Structure 1
Amino acid sequence: MGYVEEMRALVGHRLLLLAGANVIITDDQQRILLQLRRDGGWGLPGGLLEPGESFEETAIREVKEETNLDVHDLTLLGTFSGSDYTFTLENKDRINVITALFEVTSWSGRMINDPTEGLALTFFAESEIPAETKDEYRDYINYYLAQRVAKK
């Protein structure tokens, strides 16, 4: 049983404050890697911190678990928090997340989808981001794209 499951056993569906990391991974054509989640929505690789982990360690671990890729040269793009990041999940659990968004400039390995984590992994061009991309991830992607434009 993981940390969140342990906390849920104690507090039920009440609001939990959770920290996590999401990662923007691009290919050589600047397409963004998205994961088709088990709930049918698209999102970025990432997940929640385990006790004692840093945001960077979480980003590296979650990408490896979900994609089999090894990420290098993480760059922190921003931190997202506040009421816009408070959610009620399908099972009625309430969460408020603090998310560190990273960009990866270098990665290696053979991409393999872990079916326990998601249904598919696909790179998308900016104009092809699926309509089923969750709003939270759309916020992160839009922030990344705005930063990319600002760097030019």
Structure 2
Amino acid sequence: MEYVKEVRSLIGTRPFIIVGSTVIVQDKQNRVLLQLRSDTNEWGLPGGAMEPGESFVETARRELFEETGLTADYFEHIETLSGENFYFKYPNGDEVYNVIAVFIVTQCNGKLKMVDGESLSLQYFPMQDLPMKLDERAKQILDRVGVNR
């Protein structure tokens, strides 16, 4: 996040392109792990912005651990998404166009815990019973790539 903060100090809230990774964590019951985000108060998928020098997988690995306390040995790349549909305006006015590498993880190590302050809650949900306050980006990702593979 230091990189994003540094860029924000230069450009203010103007839109810019953020490259990052999102991780769909699926348990043995085919439920999806969602986090109640502290910045938007909506449920979303674990993930975040790439730091300089990181690969998409390294970003996915770091964000998964920072936001959930979980680790994984294998990240399956599903798709990389971008475009107008992945524009987002944060409550503080910051605007971004996301380029998101989407990974799925079906085997995790560790116990769920909120590590970095970005989550208010972590919970698994069946795909047919997702929460009403689902982040638009998460909704689009789940609709587009699905998880019952």
TM-score of the two chains, using structure 2 as the length reference: 0.93
TM score, norm. by length of structure 1: 0.92
**Mapped contact 1:72–1:105 kept (Cα < 8 A):** no
Q: Which consecutive residues of structure 2, in runs of 5 or more, have no partner in the other structure?
A: none
1:107 aligns with 2:108: yes
How far does residue 13 in structure 1 lie from its aligned partner after superposition?
A: 1.3
Q: Tell me, which stretches of 5 or more residues in structure 1 are unaligned?
A: none
Over 4 Å off, 4+ runs: none
Cα pair 2:21 2:103 within 8 Å, conserved: yes
Which structure has the larger Rg?
Answer: 1
RMSD: 1.4
Kindly, what percent of the aligned residue pairs are identical? 38
Aligned residue number for residue 129 of structure 1: 130
Q: Deviations over 1:10-64 (max 9, x none)?
A: 1111111110110010111010000011121000011000000011000000010
Using the alignment, how far apart are the partners of 1:23 and 1:128 within structure 2?
19
Aligned positions of 1:1-152 closer than 5 A: 2-38=2-38, 39-114=40-115, 116-145=117-146, 148=148
Give distance in 2, aligned partners of 1:57 and 1:102.
Answer: 11
Counterpart CA distance in 1 for 2:94 and 2:145 is 29
* 1:74-123: CA deviation from partner (whole Å, max 9, x where unpaired): 11111110111112222111111100000013211111123612101000
Farther off after superposition, 106-115 or 16-25: 106-115
Separation (CA, whole Å) in 1 of partners of 2:33 and 2:49: 19
